[in-house]
C-alpha cells in the first residue's frame, strides 16, 4: 500500500498511533475541551521539530508568548535558546488589525522557511472578529493560505464541555485534512478523570482506531498503546 509522506512529531506514542506521524505539509485540527493538553501538544510538536533543525512558528491567540515560554520551561523545553537560533518564533500580530494576521503568517512562513506551524486557538480568534460568519470565512482563508505553503500545521480548536460535536463553529473539521480529538472525562463508575486521544481522521493514511489513554507529566505528553475508558460527549 502506498502511504502518504509523514513527519515525525517526536511525541511519544503519537507517531505510533498515526502510523508514522502527521501528513506532511497538511493541516491537522487538534480539538478538545479546555485543559486537555492542546497547547502542551502543539508546543511539544514545534519544540521537537526545532530541536531537529525544523523551523517552527507559533501563532497564539490565547496565551501571551511569555507565558508559553515559561510553561514550556517546566517541561525542560528551552524555547528562548531555539528562538536565538532562529528555529522557533512567536508570531506577533495587532489585535486591532486582525484581518492582516494571515498575510503576516504567510510572509513569516515564507521568509523563515518554517516547516511547522501552530495556530492556537481558532476559537480564541473569535474574540477578535465581529461575528461567526466572519470567523468562518477567516477559518476558510487560513486553510486556503496554509495549503499553498510547505508547512505542516496544527490548528487547535476548543470544544465546549458537554456540547456534542468536535468543533465549536462546525466548520473547523471540514477545512482540516486530519482531525485529532483529546478528551478529559470521567470514566463510568469512577471518581477520577481520564485522558484519552482519538485519531478521528488522517488523510490518505491508516491509523489506530482505538481511543488511547495519554498522560501529561513533567516531560510533556505521552500516549499509551492501551485503550482508554471514558464517557465521551461526541
Ligand X SMILES: Nc1ncnc2c1ncn2[C@@H]1O[C@H](COP(=O)(O)OP(=O)(O)O)[C@@H](O)[C@H]1O
Which residues bind to ligand X, rule: CB under 6 A? 32, 34-40, 74, 216-218
CA atoms within 13 A on the CB side of 78: 5
- What residues does 178 pair with on adjacent strands? 28, 202
- Local structure of residue 184 (DSSP, 8 states): E
- Kindly state the smallest distance separating residue 204's Cβ from ligand X, in Å: 27
38 vs 69, beta carbon nearer Mg ion:
38
| Binders of Mg ion in range 33-52 (CB under 5 A) | 38-39
Do 32 and 65 meet the contact criterion of CB atoms below 8 Å apart? no
Instruction: Write the CA distances from 221 to 79, 101, 103, 150, 176, integer angstroms.
Output: 17, 29, 32, 26, 22
Cis peptide before 182 (omega within 30 of 0): no
Phi, psi of 109 (to 5 degrees): -65, -45
Closest separation between CB of residue 153 and ligand X, Å? 16
Q: Which is nearer to ligand X, 165 or 203 (CB)?
A: 165
The window from 30-38, 139-147, 164-172, 177-185 that contacts Mg ion (CB under 5 A) reads: 30-38
Residue 6 or 38: the one with the smaller Cβ distance to Mg ion is 38
Q: How far is the CB of 27 from ligand X (least distance, A)?
A: 18
Q: Scanning the structure block, which residue is given the C-alpha cell 470567523?
A: 135
The nearest distance, CB 43 to ligand X, in angstroms, is 8
Task: Report d(CA 52, CA 28) in Å as an integer.
Answer: 20
Residue 35 touches which of ligand X, Mg ion, none (Cβ within 5-8 Å per kind) = ligand X
Q: Is 178 in the site for Mg ion (CB under 5 A)?
A: no
Q: Which residues bind Mg ion (CB under 5 A)?
A: 38-39
Amino acid at each position: 500500500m502506498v502511504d502518504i509522506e509523514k513527519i515525525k512529531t517526536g511525541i511519544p506514542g503519537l507517531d505510533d498511533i498515526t502510523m508514522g506521524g502527521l501528513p506532511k505539509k497538511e493541516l491537522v485540527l487538534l480539538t478538545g475541551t479546555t485543559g486537555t493538553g492542546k497547547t502542551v501538544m502543539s508546543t511539544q510538536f514545534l519544540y521537537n521539530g526545532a530541536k531537529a533543525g525544523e523551523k517552527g512558528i507559533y501563532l497564539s491567540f490565547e496565551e501571551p508568548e511569555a507565558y508559553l515560554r515559561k510553561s514550556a520551561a517546566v517541561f525542560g523545553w528551552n524555547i528562548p535558546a531555539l528562538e536565538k537560533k532562529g528555529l522557533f518564533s512567536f508570531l506577533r500580530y495587532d489585535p486591532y488589525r486582525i484581518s492582516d494576521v494571515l498575510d503576516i503568517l504567510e510572509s513569516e512562513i515564507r521568509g523563515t522557511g518554517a516547516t511547522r506551524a501552530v495556530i492556537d486557538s481558532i476559537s480564541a480568534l473569535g474574540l477578535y472578529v465581529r461575528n461567526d460568519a466572519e470567523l468562518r470565512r477567516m477559518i476558510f482563508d487560513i486553510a486556503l493560505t496554509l495549503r499553498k505553503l510547505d508547512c505542516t500545521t496544527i490548528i487547535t480548536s476548543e470544544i465546549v464541555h458537554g456540547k456534542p460535536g468536535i468543533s465549536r463553529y462546525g466548520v473547523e473539521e471540514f477545512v482540516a485534512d486530519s482531525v485529532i480529538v483529546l478528551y478529559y472525562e470521567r470514566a463510568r463508575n469512577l471518581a477520577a478523570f481520564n485522558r484519552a486521544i482519538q485519531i478521528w481522521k488522517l488523510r490518505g493514511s491508516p491509523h489506530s482506531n482505538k481511543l488511547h489513554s495519554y498522560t501529561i507529566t513533567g516531560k510533556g505528553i505521552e500516549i499509551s498503546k492501551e485503550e482508554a475508558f471514558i464517557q465521551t460527549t461526541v
